[in-house]
Structure 1
């Protein structure tokens, strides 16, 4: 019982750290121009604060897995979304809308159904070097496709962020098993060096992709990241690490229902983000533009002080 409570407590603190990191990244995205390069962003303290919070959340998640099973710890990680939505709203100086709550609940219910279908005991198999290279190459190809120009860039970058983070988590298992179980081969080898390199690249890549995704808001991109992460990890586990669906093929039914609920939740969160953004303020200057010209036209002294271009415009408007 004490071990279970420890796992729950660590998972809750981990979720809070991830939520604070997501809010920090969203605030940084709101203050960053799209034209700003990566090096400029890396020079900001807010970015490294988010990196530190993410690293702390990951460490707490790993420690929690030492005290509790994956089927307990992994679902609790989804509470990141529950904590991040109100934190993000508070940071923006507003209240959480009903649409945001509905989207959050539906996303969590869908994610829970997916985790119950795919959740199982901890696997003890590891990836071979060709398998690790195949996973790394396939992940980079998927990220390249999702990162191309087009519609919904925020959600596509969020999907890529979730996939890279999930694959990094799945690859971490190979490192963990190799360290704790010496029967899998030597501790230092080309296989483990390659896996460690992929883990580092995908973990940092996930943070950078999420940073881009958060330019379109917090709720919907974070929901997509939260969904794509365990799905990608489960795909690697079932394809290469011997994991299986809980309950066999019948578990596909709750998995499909969960996917439907999660997609609906993301749609609601996207709608809530658009509503919170409000009307486009760029239309206001064009509506107010005619006012100064009418004042100038009605003031002869002001006309005398106008440059040649403005005088020509006035004569054309006044008809001579």
Structure 2
């Protein structure tokens, strides 16, 4: 198995772990009333979802060791795809036509991206000045996007996606530098950049929480799409990653990105008709994959946030 194939396989399992945890958490949270937070903390099922989230994050980090950013980060959209059948099964309904169409478009687009972006295992890393510079630019851009004004949801979602994508790029630098012994574990390139990763990841999570106050659909799509875009820019500009096939490959990658984006938007906006009556408070599970802080929830519901690529949930 090639390094890129291994990265893709790890990303697939990571997406399934994230999606399973998200759907389970959403259902557990939606059924908690009153002192639901303490009930969740005392629930073995909830701690099982925490373990699934941690597994997904670990697999994602390992995938970044073996695959380029232009391959690993777009695969974060598979979390939404995996949540469609899982959520439908738990809700006792069939997958809707819009969901099938969104899934097909997302998978087709990701396939085009994988064909053009496939490459060797990453061996280049950001230098410490480059990492600090990238983090500084990200913080400045985030400050501009988070400035009070019109359409705060979409602006905060964009900032969340960019921040999380940069965190993933810096995670790859830490992982590669630490595992190939190009830098000591206690060096600034490893420990210092790791601190930047933690800060940016936390910032991305907080931004996503703010983004969803006005609704989930459009902000969720923006987070899911901005994350791989930011990581891809860093990979192509600073890490020497290349698209295969020359100009034709670039066009194919752009077409794939467009199809995947369309599919993600359909998945986040899908509102299927259930096969059997459901409680009025039951939310569509896909909408909770990358955003468990549902502002539409009733005051009695307690939603437990989790780490999230794609945002969902904002993940590394």
Q: Please report the TM-score for the alignment, with normalisation by the length of structure 1.
A: 0.65
Distance 1:219 1:172 in 2: 28
What is residue 202 of structure 1 aligned with on the other side? 200
Gaps of 5+ in 1: 33-40, 282-320
Q: Structure 1 pair 9/253, CA: closer, same or farther in 2 (3 Å)?
A: closer
Q: Deviations over 1:203-223 (max 9, x none)?
A: 233344444556677776555
Aligned length, in residue pairs: 270
Structure having greater relative contact order (Cα 8 Å, sep ≥ 6): 2
- Residues 109, 257 of structure 2: 8 Å contact kept: yes
What is residue 60 of structure 1 aligned with on the other side? 59
What is residue 13 of structure 2 aligned with on the other side? 13
What is residue 80 of structure 1 aligned with on the other side? 79
What is residue 284 of structure 1 aligned with on the other side? none
Residue 260 of structure 1: which of 258, 261, 269 is its match?
Answer: 258
Distance 2:150 2:272 in 1: 18
Shift of 1:132: 0.9
- Residues 163, 232 of structure 1: 8 Å contact kept: yes
- Residues 183, 189 of structure 2: 8 Å contact kept: no
Q: Deviations over 1:130-185 (max 9, x none)?
A: 211111122223333444553372x5544433322322221122212222233x34
After TM superposition, the structure 1 = structure 2 runs for residues 1-320 of structure 1, keeping only pairs within 5 Å, are: 10-23=10-23, 45=41, 52-63=51-62, 78-90=77-89, 94-148=93-147, 149-151=149-151, 153=153, 155-182=154-181, 184-213=182-211, 223-273=221-271
Distance 1:44 1:205 in 2: 25
- Residues 119, 245 of structure 1: 8 Å contact kept: yes
The higher radius of gyration belongs to: 1
Cα root mean square deviation, aligned = 4.3
- Residues 85, 219 of structure 1: 8 Å contact kept: no
- Residues 96, 272 of structure 2: 8 Å contact kept: no
Distance 1:120 1:151 in 2: 38
Distance 1:44 1:150 in 2: 36
